[in-house]
Every structure is written in structure tokens, then in C-alpha cells.
């Protein structure tokens, strides 16, 4: 089947968000990143900052942190409410047609669809460190520590809700290093992969 939905998973600082945006513009299809936060906010009433953080990152850098977060009488935490709302939003988005979806376990949520191309964007540490300083400025934390901490919390969240390893090659159709071929090179690879999938399907 033709791949019309592209999920972009990415290491912090690798440029995955930019790759996804450029792919959507070239293909003329919808792009969903912060838009997902807006939709979850509308559905739940939770603060957007809370959704942005808890919808993709673990509470701490320890997997067992989920055991200590508050839960209601049914054993459901605020994080679980965000996950369930986010999952529904992503499924609804995919049902509406071709699009690019960035992050938020979309590769797992849409795993049973045959029209999805799952992409993982990574980069070398020095490349990412330089890029986040250029984009977000200096902070009291070393750039490499910021990168490590962010991705560790992202990996824990992914593991908790999917029982899979974030970044593991078997979870994606293609893994691309932007430090090796650049942002535009990564965009070209995704577009080319879509074409190859279509040719193979024929």
C-alpha cells in the first residue's frame, strides 16, 4: 500500500521537526506537531505546557517514577489521561488523510496501519549540541547534558507506554543521521523512500 502518513521520531537537537515540516511542505500534506498539543488541550482542558511535557517525556529520568505519580480511584494518572487523549487525537488525524506527525509515540500508535512510513532522525552529539545552542541559546546546563537528559526522559516515556525501545531500528522503516547528510539530505531521503515504497507496491 502507498505510504501516505509519515511519523517522525527524533533525538533532541537532530532537526527532526524541521525535516518533518519540510517534507509536509514538499508533499502538500498536513503537518502535526504542536497542533497535537492544541487538540489534546481542547479535549482535556489540561494546560498546554503540561501536555507538551507529560505527553512525550517521563516525570523524571527514572523509569520507576511512574509508580509514584498520583492516580485516581481507577488507578489512572494525569499522564495516562494525556496519553489516552493524545492517542485518540493521533488516530483521528491519520484517519483524515495524508500527513506528517512528529513524535508522541505516533509510530507505535499507528503500528497496525499499512500506509505509514516510520522515520527516526538522529545525529552526532557535537552536531546536536551546536544546534540547540544556536536555536535555544545557552543555559546553566551543559548542552550535551541537556541533550542526554531530554532524550532519556523521552526514551523512558516511550518504553512505559509502548513496551518498546525508543530509537531501536526494528521500530522504524528508516533511520537517518542529519549530522551525516544534513537537514535537506534527510528530507530528500524521506521523499525518495516514499517513492521507492510506491514503486515496490506496484
- Other Cβ atoms less than 10 A from the Cβ of 72: the count is 10
pLDDT value of residue 161:
93
At 168, give phi and psi (nearest 5°): -65, 135
Where does the pLDDT of residue 99 fall: very low under 50, low under 70, confident under 90, or very high at 90 and above? very high
The H or E element that residue 160 is part of is: helix 143-162
Q: How many CA atoms lie within 13 Å of 79's alpha carbon, on the beta-carbon side? A: 19
What average pLDDT does the segment 157-162 reach? 93
| Maximum CA extent, the chain | 54
pLDDT value of residue 57:
77
Domain ranges within the chain, ordered by starting residue: 5-194
> What CATH homologous superfamily does 5-194 map to?
P-loop containing nucleotide triphosphate hydrolases (3.40.50.300)
| Region for 30 from its dihedrals, namely left if φ exceeds 0, alpha if ψ lies in -120 to 50, beta otherwise | beta
What does pTM read for this prediction? Answer: 0.89
pLDDT in tens, 47-79: 999 898 878 876 655 555 655 465 655 667 788
CA dihedral 158, 83, 115, 93 (to 10 degrees): -140
How far CA 27 is from CA of 22, 23, 24, 163, in Å, comes to: 9, 6, 5, 32
Q: CA angle, 165 as apex, 92 and 33 as ends, to 5°?
A: 35
State the Cα–Cα distance between residues 116 and 54, nearest whole angstrom: 25
Q: Is the dihedral of CA 100, 147, 126, 168 positive or negative?
A: negative
The answer to whether the beta carbons of residues 155 and 9 sit under 8 Å apart is no
Amino acid at each position: 500500500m502507498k505510504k501516505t502518513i509519515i511519523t517522525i521520531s527524533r533525538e533532541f537537537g537532530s532537526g527532526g521537526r524541521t525535516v518533518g515540516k519540510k517534507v509536509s511542505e514538499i508533499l502538500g500534506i498536513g503537518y502535526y506537531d504542536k497542533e497535537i498539543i492544541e487538540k489534546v488541550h481542547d479535549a482535556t482542558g489540561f494546560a498546554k505546557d503540561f501536555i507538551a511535557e507529560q505527553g512525550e517525556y517521563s516525570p523524571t529520568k527514572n523509569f520507576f517514577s511512574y509508580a509514584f505519580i498520583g492516580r485516581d480511584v481507577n488507578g489512572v494518572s494525569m499522564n495516562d489521561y494525556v496519553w489516552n487523549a493524545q492517542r485518540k487525537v493521533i488516530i483521528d488525524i491519520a484517519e483524515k488523510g495524508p500527513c506528517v506527525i512528529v513524535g508522541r509515540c505516533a509510530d507505535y500508535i499507528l503500528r497496525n496501519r499499512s500506509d505509514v512510513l516510520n522515520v527516526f532522525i538522529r545525529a552526532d552529539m557535537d552536531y546536536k549540541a551546536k544546534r540547540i545552542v544556536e536555536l535555544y541559546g545557552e543555559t546553566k546546563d551543559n548542552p550535551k547534558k541537556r541533550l542526554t537528559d531530554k532524550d532519556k526522559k523521552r526514551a523512558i516515556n516511550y518504553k512505559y507506554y509502548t513496551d518498546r525501545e525508543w530509537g531501536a531500528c526494528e521500530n522504524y522503516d528508516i533511520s537517518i543521521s542529519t549530522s551525516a547528510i544534513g537537514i535537506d539530505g534527510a528530507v530528500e531521503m524521506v521523499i525518495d523512500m516514499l517513492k521507492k515504497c510506491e514503486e515496490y507496491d506496484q
